[in-house]
A and B are shown apart, each in its own frame.
Chain A
Amino acid sequence: MKPSDHPDPFKQARTEQGVSEIDDQDDPVQMVLRLKDVRKCAHNWKTYSSEATPGRIVVPSEVNIRDTRQIPFEVDPPKHGAFRELLDPWFKRPLQDEYRDKLREQISALINEVNQRDSIEAIYGFSLLLQSHALTVLMNTPESEAETFISWGTHVFRSEDDPLDAGKAQQLYDYIDQKIDEAEASPSDDLFSTLLAAEVDGARLTREQIKGIIILTFAGGRDTVINMVTNTLAYLADHPESLQRLRDEPEIRTRAIEELIRYFSPLTHMGRVATEDAQVCEHAVKADSRISLCWASANRDETVFENPNEVVLDRKLNPHVAFGFATHNCLGATHARTIMQVLIDELCQQVDHIDFLSADENIEQWGEFARKVGYHKLNLAFHSV
């Protein structure tokens, strides 16, 4: 085992049962573990709905800490499609050169800075900064807002010791309320103003709907992006030959990014609520009970991926589900992929190698499964070219 490895805790349960039940605040969840089953259930929104009580499809359930429905995440088709039609163009902006150039400026400056230091703690000294600054580009707000985002810490809903911290969530709601007020008073071309002016199915969005969209932009892209970036640094520190290969063979970078995202699967799983009695690979699922689509397990499915537990940088066929599948596929995926492209380019250009000094792993516990999703602390030393 190398320190940057992410072992697969689901193998036995996936191959032997395909489904595994865990408890969560007396509302148990059957985790669906095989790639084909995960895809089928994700596709079948009529039976496996996202439009349950707000917070219920999240594991651990957030029903006790919020009432605001997150949009488009907790909406089923056909309404879901109308929201995506509105949001997709905004979230595809990362494909524009101007957007990419802004990210490049931010990330290049950050790498230049850590190159000069003897050592850094990568989460607070790199990933959180990168994520927060990049978010201002996604929301088209002034870059100075990043200071506020940074002050919230690594997760906008969860504090270090409490996975469901209602007080912490309140901070975010207050911020969003204030920003909507400001946008109402003096519209700009940021995401808040754009949503205030937008229509879906011929009607303006309500304040509650706007909140539901913005919260998701903060929550969905926070620890996922932070873990993606941190885990990438840890991997490249631990595998200097891979950094060298990416430098020498720029043509494999696109594949390498998909492979790293598959391997890390920053979002472990996401729930659904059954609308009727159903079955997943011969296991009964009762109406109104929860299942979860375990992207992380599906991405190590040995019936689909050769050497699933290895990072194969130039993996050619890689039908991973790290960004979900079908209806609710990740709205932020273009932003996340663009961050990775710029990050890899800039590391190749500016960094000779990174020393892996020490780490404190972040292990999630899901019933019997202990899964490494990233790090609480990661100490690295960057060496410039």
Chain B
Amino acid sequence: MAKITFITKDEHTIVCEADSGSVMELAVQNGVKGIDGDCGGVCSCATCHVHVAPDSVARVGEAGEIEKDMLELDDEANERSRLCCQLEVSDELDGIVLHVAH
């Protein structure tokens, strides 16, 4: 079971738990504002953009090349940006904090 915390643009904190699926799906199921997941998670829409909290970065890891190319043109992108549909829920992610980018 992994506990994942989302903090929205308007500063709401939503704590979710899951043991499988993608982080985007988890956010959509819990109605996290700013995570739409329009493309269902195939890395085409960029409506699942988060900034990983600095002390969670090591556990989340880096974006792949296709994801990086998507993020490059997002005005809110920074060095801690990820598209959370590309993050699989696992014990590895337990306790991470994600700031919704939009």
Taking Cβ atoms with an 8 Å cutoff, the residues of A that contact B are 36, 39-40, 43, 254-255, 257-258, 304, 315-321, 323, 325-326, 329, 333-334, 337
Contact = CB atoms under 8 A, between A and B. Distances in A.
B73 A40 contact: yes
A245 B41 CA distance: 20
A258 B44 CA distance: 9
Contact of A258 (B39, B70, B73): B39
B40 A319 contact: no
Contacts of A36: 69
Dominant SS at the B interface?
Answer: loop
A40 B42 CA distance: 20
Given A254-B42, A337-B40, 7 more contacts: A43-B73, A257-B40, A304-B69, A319-B43, A319-B69, A325-B73, A334-B38
A254 B41 contact: yes
B73 A318 contact: no
Interface in B38-64: 38-45, 64
A326 B39 CA distance: 14
A255 B44 contact: no
B38, B44, B45, most chain A CB atoms within 10 A:
B44
A345 to B, nearest CB: 14
A123 B48 CA distance: 36
A85 B38 CA distance: 17
A326 B66 contact: no
Contacts of A319: 42-44, 66, 69-70
A90 to B, nearest CB: 15
A304 B43 CA distance: 12
